[in-house]
């Protein structure tokens, strides 16, 4: 099948803000009439050229997205964004795609963007697909979208992609998935890593060696690569047993530090069985949080210049009457041990994301809910920055609230509002990230307000803070993807 790749221009809005933090609404001016429920955003930044970026966010299918879902493209370090309709999707289905994530290789001469997604079909058996796109993608062409067919299958959930390149400039593609095919026969060991090795060999590997009481092995992957070394790490939940009606889970770390172009077995820790970082407790039912749901929440990051330094975050609800809580811990020996107490906890928060820059600073992104009434409250997106090696319980060196909005102002949107993840990365000393938030209250530049304490830059047409379309008709507020950058 031939896929038409369409290009929509974007207005350059510039980095007019002061201070270290810049927040940008990613909807181009030509899409000012868009009022979709955007959710579950993913961001990729080219590690060899951070002018080049790409992003995806699951969006309600409107007329502008017919049979191709949007990929957000920036070639100026996030100053401006355009939409290219690239990812295949059913015509006029409810969502463009589901659980989509993106990642770059690290080949300066031949940059490639990799995208994993679940194709929205209206059934539980949504096809899992991986695509590779030479970057930047060609404009207004009728080139077939390259699909990595070996990955394609049904029966998986929550694909999370990370790509890298070897010292021989060959690409590795890792996708963590919750593979529920033949779950009973596999003793509910659903935590799986699919990979296309640098030698071109495809492999799918269940990385949990022990049986589980229930499915739900969501996997998050982090890669490490320098010009002389490479490694890959992953974190997943393993739901081991049911005690007094509550699921008892292990938070497990696996790694692969072997070299060469072969398939990676992910058996470098714990005599091949991985290492249990912590224990987590969940109810068997969904945990409600601010017209959304809490969990499963996982994040992992590796120091870009030192593969022995890892940080991992997870969420759980230790007791029925306790708040849902995010936790953060550190390893300084490549994941073999995770000594000491937790570095921090954050209650009534979800969607953790982590990144470490070349100076060793740690950025921790999450979304926090503060209830006002039984049916309303505030969602805030927060980034905390910590120095290298910070002690447990230390106050953050910097705390930035990126957005703040009230649930009741988007009552027309169905739950869950935010979805299951946000994302962060770093290139050199800079942190980059993506989240979704309400597009209400975006004022003229620099846009600093109670709702955007760091300011916000936007190309969307508006009069004051009222969104309008190209015909100057009012547009309802909704959830948009927002990009941010933190400089030294």
In a domain, 1, yes or no: no
Dist. CA 311–CA 274, nearest whole Å? 16
In a domain, 280, yes or no: yes
- In whole angstroms, give the CA distance from residue 41 to residue 58: 7
pLDDT score, position 1? 31
Half-sphere exposure of 464 (CA within 13 A, CB side): 2
The CATH number assigned to the domain holding 177 equals: 2.120.10.70
Check whether 314 has a pLDDT greater than 80: yes
| Range in 57-66, 94-103, 168-177, 392-401 with the lowest mean pLDDT | 57-66
Cβ–Cβ < 8 Å for 440, 391: no
Identify which has the larger pLDDT, 93 or 35.
Answer: 35
- Please check the confidence at residue 101 and state whether its pLDDT lies above 90: yes
Distance CA 463, CA 343 (A): 45
Tokens (6 digits) for 175: 């996708």
CA 171, 176, 179, 184 dihedral sign is positive
Q: Which of 391, 389, 382, 399 is nearest to 359 (CA)?
A: 389
Confirm whether 284 is domain-assigned.
yes
| Tens of pLDDT, residues 367-409 | 999 999 988 999 999 999 999 999 999 999 999 999 999 999 9
Residue 71 lies in a domain: yes
| pLDDT score for 124 | 58
| pLDDT bracket for residue 295 (50, 70, 90) | confident
pLDDT at 102 over 80: yes
φ/ψ region of 29 (left if φ > 0, alpha if ψ in -120 to 50, else beta) reads alpha
Long-range contacts made by residues 323-331, C-beta under 8 angstroms, separation at least 24?
A: 323/347, 323/348, 324/287, 324/289, 324/294, 324/295, 324/348, 324/349, 324/350, 325/349, 326/297, 326/350, 326/352, 326/366, 327/278, 328/352, 328/354, 328/364, 329/277, 329/278, 331/253
Residue 407 domain-assigned (yes or no): yes
Q: Which domain holds residue 38?
A: 6-486
Number of helices and strands (H, E) in the chain? 0, 32
CA-based nearest residue to 133, from 98, 95, 105, 99: 105
pLDDT value of position 128: 93
Per residue in 434-465, pLDDT (tens digit) is 999 999 999 998 999 999 999 999 999 999 99
| DSSP-based three-state secondary structure for 180 | coil
Say if 381 falls within a structural domain.
yes
Q: Residue 95 gets which letter from DSSP?
A: B
* Residue 206 belongs to a domain: yes
Which of left, alpha, beta for 78 (phi over 0: left; psi -120 to 50: alpha)? left
Q: Quote the DSSP letter at residue 322.
A: S
Bridge partners of residue 6, in order along the sequence:
85
Q: How many domains does the chain have?
A: 1
């Amino acid at each position: 099948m031939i896929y038409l790749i369409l290009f929509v221009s974007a207005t350059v809005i510039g980095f007019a803000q002061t201070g270290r933090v810049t927040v940008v609404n990613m909807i181009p001016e030509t899409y000012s009439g868009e009022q979709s429920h955007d959710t579950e955003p993913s961001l990729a930044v080219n590690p060899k050229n951070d002018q080049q970026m790409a992003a995806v966010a699951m969006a309600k299918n409107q007329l502008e997205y017919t049979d191709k879902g949007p990929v957000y493209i920036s070639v100026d370090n996030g100053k401006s964004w355009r939409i290219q309709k690239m990812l295949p999707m059913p015509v006029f289905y409810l969502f463009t795609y589901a659980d989509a994530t993106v990642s770059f290789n690290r080949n300066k001469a031949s940059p490639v963007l990799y995208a994993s997604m679940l194709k929205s079909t209206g059934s539980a058996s949504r096809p899992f697909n991986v695509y590779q796109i030479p970057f930047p993608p060609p404009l207004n062409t009728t080139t077939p979208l390259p699909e990595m067919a070996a990955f394609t299958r049904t029966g998986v959930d929550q694909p999370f992609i990370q790509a890298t390149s070897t010292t021989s400039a060959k690409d590795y593609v890792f996708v963590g998935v919750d593979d529920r095919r033949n779950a009973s026969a596999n003793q509910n060991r659903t935590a799986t890593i699919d990979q296309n090795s640098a030698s071109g060999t495809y492999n799918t590997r269940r990385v949990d060696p022990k049986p589980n009481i229930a499915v739900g092995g969501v996997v998050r992957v982090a890669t490490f690569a320098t010009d002389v070394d490479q490694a890959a790490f992953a974190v997943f939940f393993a739901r081991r047993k049911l005690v007094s009606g509550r699921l008892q889970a292990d938070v497990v770390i696996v790694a692969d530090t072997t070299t060469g172009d072969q398939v990676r077995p992910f058996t470098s820790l714990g005599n091949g069985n991985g290492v249990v970082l912590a224990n987590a407790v969940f109810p068997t039912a969904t945990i409600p949080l601010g017209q959304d749901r809490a969990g499963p929440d996982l994040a992992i990051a590796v120091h870009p210049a030192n593969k022995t330094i890892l940080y991992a975050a997870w969420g759980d609800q230790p007791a029925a009457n306790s708040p849902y809580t995010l936790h953060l811990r550190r390893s300084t020996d490549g994941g073999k041990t995770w000594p000491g107490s937790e570095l921090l906890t954050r209650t009534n928060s979800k969607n953790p994301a982590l990144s470490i820059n070349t100076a060793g600073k740690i950025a921790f992104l999450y979304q926090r809910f503060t209830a006002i009434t039984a049916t309303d409250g505030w969602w805030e997106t927060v980034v905390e920055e910590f120095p290298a090696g910070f002690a447990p319980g230390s106050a953050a060196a910097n705390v930035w609230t990126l957005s703040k909005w009230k649930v009741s102002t988007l009552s027309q949107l169905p739950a869950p509002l935010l979805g299951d993840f946000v994302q962060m990365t770093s290139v050199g000393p800079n942190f980059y990230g993506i989240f979704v938030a309400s597009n209400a209250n975006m004022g003229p530049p620099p846009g600093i307000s109670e709702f955007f304490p760091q300011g916000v830059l936007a190309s969307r047409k508006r009069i004051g803070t009222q969104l309008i379309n190209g015909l100057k008709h009012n547009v309802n507020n909704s959830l948009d993807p927002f990009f941010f950058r933190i400089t030294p």
